[in-house]
Amino acid sequence: MVKRKESMTSLDIAATIKALESRLIGSRLANIYEIEKNMLLFKFKSPKIETKLVVEPAKRIHATGYEVTEKQMPNPFVMGLRKYLRGARLEKISQIGFDRIVVLEFANGYKLYIELIPRGVIALVDKNNIILQVSEQKKLKDRVIKVKEKYAFPPLKSLHPEQLTPEKLYEDYRSSNEVNIVRFIVKQYGMPPELVEEAVSRSGIGKEAVGREDIEKLVAEIKNIYREALQGKGYIVQDELGMPITVLPYKPYSLKTYNGHRLVKYEDFNTALDEYFKRILEVVFIEKAVKEYEAEKAKLLESLRRAEENVEDLNSKITKLKEIAEIVSSNISKLYEVHECVERIKNNYGWDYIPGNCPGVIDVEPDKGIVKVSIGDIVVDYDVRLDPSRFVISLYKRIGELEKKKERTLKAIKELKEKIERVNVEIRRKTTRAKASIVRREWYEKYHWMYTSNWFLVIGGRDASQNESIVKKFLEDDDIFLHANIQGAPAVILFTKGKQVSGQDIKEAAVLAACYSKAWKLGMGAVEVYWVYGKQVSKSPPSGEYIKKGAFMIYGKRNYVGAIELKLALGISVEKEHPIVIIGPDYLVRKRSHVYAVLAPGDEDPSKIAKRLRSLFTSKVDDNIRDVIASISVEEIRLRLPGRSRILAIARGAAVEPPRPTKKSQGA
C-alpha cells in the first residue's frame, strides 16, 4: 500500500522554487494572513500579477489559486511579520542546497527562513542573522531557536543531484554494509525515496548487488528526473476512489508502484501542489467544523445500539413468554395436578421430596416458590403460590408489561434516529461550508463579471482604480469597450479573442454596464449604453487637457445599444460542489442557475438584502443542493449587488448550462 504524501520533498521544493522565481522576484509583499495554526498566506503584488503563497512549516510552500478564509485576529507572530515585511520587495527566493529549507530575501535586508523539515519553523532574521520573529521558540539538541538568538540551520545532509557522480556513489556504496541501493542513497545522501525509486525503475536495474555499470545508469536517471522536475509540469496520482495519494514534479516511469491508480497531469507544478494539498486542507477544515457534532453523533449511536439490543432482548422474552402461556393454557389440567401434588408433598415432607414424586417436576427453588415443570418440549418456572389459572393470568400480564416497555423503547429509537438525522444534516451542512471556505477564484472575479450567451467573458471595474487597471492591462484593439451614458459608471470590456460578436452578446454586456452605473443608485428605470472597439479608447487627452483617474478618451463613432432597463438577475449555481454567484439578464441567469432573483433599484440596504436573498434561495431549492446553496457567504452576494435594491421576483432556475464555460459548453 502506497503511503499518502503529507509533506513536500526536497525535489518538490526545488521544482516549486524554480516556478515561483519569475512570479515573485520583484513583487512586493502586500500582506500576511493566518489561515490555521501554523498555516500562513503571503500575498505578493506586482504591476501585472498577484501571487498568493501558502506556507506551512514542516509541510509545504506553493502558490495557491484558492480563496481561504483567514482568521479575524492573527497571532502575534503574524503581526510581527507584518511589521517588518509588509510592503517589502522580494529580491530572491531560494532553496538551501538540496535540503527542505527555503529562504525569502527582501530588499530591506530581512530574510525569512521557512523550514519544511519535521518540527520546522518560520524564522525572520535581520542582516546579522539574528532572529526577530519565529513561529515557535524551542531548544533542540543541535540548536536554539529563540528571538534575539542567532539563527542556525539544522544539520544539513542532503546531496544535490547534480553533485552526485557515479564514482562517488560506487565507492561509498561498496564501502558500506547496506545492500539495498535505494536505502543507501536515501540514508547517505538525504535524497527523497520516491526520487530514488523512480530512478531505479527507469534505469531497469535491481535494488541489490548493484555493479559499476548499474551505478552509472542510476546516477544518470537521478539527474534526468531532477532536470525534468525543473520543467514545471505536475502530476497527481489518485487511488481507485479518486483520492490523491501523492503529487510529483515528474511523470512516473510506470504506475507499477501505484498499482490500480490514475495519473492526472497539470501544466504547472504549483497548481498540482495546490490541488493536492487543498484536499488535505479540506479534511482539516471539515474535521474542525464537525468535531462537536461527531462526538454528539457517537453518543447517540451508542444509545441507539443499546436501545436496539434492548428491543431484541424484549422480543426474545415476549416470544418465550407467549410460548409458555400457550403451552400452559393447553395443559392447564396437568398443572392443576402438579399444583395439588406440590402442596401435599411440601406440607408433609418438605421441598426436597417434590422432584421425583410430583409428575413432570425436575427441580425446585424454595426461596422463590418455584417448581420447574417439564411440559412438552419446554420447562416452565411455575410459581406454586398461584393456582394455575392465576399463573396463566400473571404470564399474560407480564407479556403486556414487556410489550409496553418495547413500545416505549421503539419510540425512543425513533427519536434517536431523528436526532441522528438532524446531526447528520448539520454535519453535511458544516462539511459543505468547510469546503466552500476553500474556493479557487478566477482572476476576473475581483471585478464585476459575467459570461454572455455565446460564452464571451465580460468584466467591469468596481471603482475608478479598477477601471484604470482593466483598460491598461486587458483591453485589446478588437475587444469591445462599453460604458453607460452617465457620469459614474464602470469601464466594461467584452473580450472577443478576435472572434465575431453578436448583437445579443453586446446587449447582454450592456446590462452589466448599465446596472453597475450610478443610474442604479439614482433609482432610474433605464440608461443608455454605448460601445466602441478597444482601439478607440485612449488615456491620451487632447493637448492642454487632463483626464482624471478611471476616465478615458473615446475617439471615433460611438455605437449606442439603446436604453437598457435597470433590471438585474442574480442567481446561485453549483460548480464542483461549490456555490457561485452569477449575474446578467434574467433569461440568461435562469438557464445557468439553480435559483435566482430579479432585482431593481430600491431602498433596501445591500447587506440586509443579501442576507434575505440567501435565506430565500436556500428555502427555494431541492434538498440535495440546499446545503451547498446555504454555504454561500452573505458577503459574496452583497458584492454582486449594484447598490440599494428591491426584489421583483424569486424563482428556481433551470440549471441547464454551467455558470461559466467548459470545453463542452463553449461555443464562441
Q: Is 240 exposed, middle or buried (0-12, 13-18, 19+ CB in 10 A)?
A: exposed
Domain-wise residue ranges, the chain: 10-145, 442-566, 567-661
What's the rounded Cα separation, in Å, for the pair 586 and 565? 12
Grouping H, G, I as helix, E, B as strand and the rest as coil, residue 278 is helix
Q: Which three cell numbers stand for residue 667?
A: 461555443
pLDDT for 667 equals: 40
Give the pTM.
Answer: 0.62
CA torsion, points 217, 222, 224, 230, in degrees to nearest 10? 180
Order of all β-strands in the sheet with 262-266: 244-248, 234-238, 262-266
**Please, what sign has the CA dihedral across residues 607, 612, 613, 619?**
positive
Assign 3-class secondary structure to 174-206. Answer: HCCCCCCHHHHHHHHHCCCHHHHHHHHHHHCCC
H, E, C per residue of 575-617: ECCEEEEEEECHHHHHHHCCEEEEEEEEEECHHHHHHHHHHHH
Residues in the chain, overall count: 668
Q: How far apart are alpha carbons 223 and 169 in whole angstroms? A: 13
Q: Which residues contact 80 (CB under 8 A, 6 or more apart)?
A: 124, 132, 133
**DSSP character string of 378-430:** EEEEEETTS-HHHHHHHHHHHHHHHHHHHHHHHHHHHHHHHHHHHHHHHHHHH
Burial per residue of 328-357, b for 16 or more beta-carbon CB atoms within 10 angstroms, e otherwise = beebeebbeebbebbeebbeeeeeeebeee
Q: Which residue has the cell 445591500?
A: 606
| Parts of the chain with a pLDDT under 50 | 665-668
CA 414, 416, 418, 421 dihedral sign is negative
| Residue whose C-alpha is closest to residue 39's, from 2, 84, 69 | 69
Q: Cβ distance 596 to 571 under 8 Å? A: yes
Other Cβ atoms within 10 Å of 216 Cβ, number: 16
Residues with Cβ < 8 Å from 580, sequence gap 6 or more? 572, 573, 574, 659, 660
3-state secondary structure of 32: strand
Half-sphere exposure of 418 (CA within 13 A, CB side): 6
Round to whole Å and give the CA distance between 338 and 344.
10
Q: Which three cell numbers stand for residue 163?
A: 553533485
Q: To which residue does cell 416505549 refer?
A: 408
- Name beta bridge partners: 528: 563
User: Domain 10-145: what homologous superfamily?
Assistant: ibrinogen binding protein from staphylococcus aureus domain (2.30.310.10)
The residue with cell 443608455 is 528
pLDDT digits 0-9 by tens, 585-608 = 999 999 999 999 999 999 999 999
8 A C-beta contact, residue 169 and residue 218: yes
Quote the pLDDT of residue 35.
86
Burial of 247 (0-12, 13-18, 19+ CB in 10 A): buried
Q: Which residues contact 305 (CB under 8 A, 6 or more apart)?
A: none
Angle 411-416-418 from CA coordinates, rounded to 5°: 95
Q: How crowded is residue 133: how many other Cβ atoms within 10 Å of its Cβ?
A: 21
Burial class (CB in 10 A: 0-12, 13-18, 19+), 552: buried
The counts of H helices and E strands in the chain are 16, 31
